[in-house]
């Protein structure tokens, strides 16, 4: 079956511009996560969705970052007024909701490489 | 808060050598533990997992045992191959009462296996 897909695979943008990154999770996965991977910071959690709501936004680094999820499926991560330090690979993952408070296995997409010039 | 510490890389081994990558963690709850692998040019893949103390996760010849008493989850393989060359990430998810289901990752360990 289809895995997690992300688009675009690469994005180069000028400092100060807004960007939108898209994630299509595995069908039926109710949980969706955004992470970013950068040389200096490693793998960092950004935001977690359960259905269309985001109970954990604690990893968003500033108010320039926002995300939404519609129809319990596709999610969009938006970065406004991009800065050079936003350059990273943005990863999306999805999972089935865990049972008894447990955690479903997360499946990762290939990522979007964002370069801010 | 939660954290994961894993050994610095790169780890360079000859083919058929024994591999250990150390991983220790701190967590407020009772976490699930994972090893993820990132092959060159590819995305993150789950390698193995363990959800409770003394569980052993295994896959592709790799093993790791959840040790609550030492808060560790060391990755081992008896005989590495060139194709095992990748970056390995230890991670935890403290998805219990806290409700926080995100993964907390270690910094990653690059493994280079030479023929």
The per-residue pLDDT for B13 is 97
The SS3 call for residue A14 is coil
Closest CA to A22 of A14, A32, A30: A32
CA–CA min distance B94, chain A (Å) = 8
The per-residue pLDDT for A116 is 97
Q: Do A42 and B107 touch (CB under 8 A)?
A: yes
Alpha-carbon distance of A20 to A78, in angstroms, equals 5
∠ CA(B48), CA(B50), CA(B55), 5° rounding?
120
CA–CA min distance A62, chain B (Å) = 18
The per-residue pLDDT for A100 is 41
What HEC string does chain B produce? Answer: CCEEEECCCCEEEECCCCEEECEEEECCCCCEEEEEEECCCCCEEEEEEECCCCCEEEECCEEEECECCCCECCEEECCCCHHHCEEEEEEEECCCCCCCCCEEECCCEEEEEEC
B82-to-A77, A111, B12, B46, B85 alpha-carbon distances in Å: 37, 25, 11, 19, 6
When scoring A59, A95, A104, A106 by the number of chain B Cβ atoms within 10 A, the one with the most, hence best to mutate, is A106
What is the mean pLDDT of the segment spanning B71-100? 88
Q: Do A56 and B103 touch (CB under 8 A)?
A: no
The per-residue pLDDT for A41 is 77
The per-residue pLDDT for A18 is 98
The per-residue pLDDT for B42 is 86
Q: Is the pLDDT of residue B77 over 50?
A: yes
A86: phi then psi, degrees, rounded to nearest 5: -80, -10
DSSP category for residue A96: P
The pLDDT tens digits for B8-36 are 889 999 999 999 999 999 998 788 999 99
The per-residue pLDDT for B28 is 81
CA B49 to chain centre: 8
Residue of A nearest to B40 (CA): A110
The SS3 call for residue A84 is helix
Written as tens digits, the pLDDT of chain A (117 aa) is 589 999 999 999 999 999 999 999 999 999 999 999 998 778 999 999 989 999 889 999 999 999 999 998 999 999 999 999 999 999 999 998 754 444 568 899 999 999 999
The per-residue pLDDT for A56 is 87
Q: Is the pLDDT of residue B99 over 60?
A: no
The per-residue pLDDT for A12 is 98
Restricting to B residues 22-81, those with a Cβ less than 8 Å away from any Cβ of A are 32, 36, 42-46, 49, 51
Closest CA to B84 of B5, B16, B6, B3: B16
Exposure on the CB side of residue A90, measured as CA atoms within 13 A: 32
The pLDDT tens digits for B33-53 are 999 999 988 889 999 999 889
Q: Is the pLDDT of residue B97 over 80?
A: no
B37-to-A77, A84, A107, B72, B88 alpha-carbon distances in Å: 25, 28, 12, 18, 5
């Amino acid at each position: 079956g289809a895995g997690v897909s992300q688009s675009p695979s690469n994005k180069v943008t000028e400092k100060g511009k807004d960007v939108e990154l898209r994630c299509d999770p595995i069908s039926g996965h109710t949980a969706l996560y955004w992470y970013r991977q950068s040389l200096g910071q490693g793998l960092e959690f950004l935001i977690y969705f359960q259905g269309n709501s985001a109970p954990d936004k604690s990893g968003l680094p500033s108010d320039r970052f926002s995300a939404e999820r519609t129809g319990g499926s596709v999610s969009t991560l938006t970065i406004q007024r991009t800065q050079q330090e936003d350059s990273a690979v943005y990863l999306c993952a999805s999972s089935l909701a865990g049972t008894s408070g447990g955690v479903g296995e997360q499946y990762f997409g290939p990522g979007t490489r964002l370069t801010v010039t | 808060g939660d954290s994961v510490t894993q050994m610095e890389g790169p780890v360079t081994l000859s083919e058929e050598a024994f591999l250990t990558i150390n991983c220790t963690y701190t967590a407020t709850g009772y976490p699930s533990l994972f090893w993820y692998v990132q092959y060159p040019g590819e995305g993150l893949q789950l390698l193995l997992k363990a959800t409770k103390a003394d569980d052993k996760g295994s896959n592709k010849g790799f093993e790791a045992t959840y040790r609550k008493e030492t808060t560790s989850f060391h990755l081992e393989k008896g005989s590495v191959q060139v194709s095992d060359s990748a970056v390995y990430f230890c991670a935890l998810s403290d998805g219990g009462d806290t409700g926080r289901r995100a993964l907390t990752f270690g910094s990653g360990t690059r493994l280079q296996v030479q023929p």
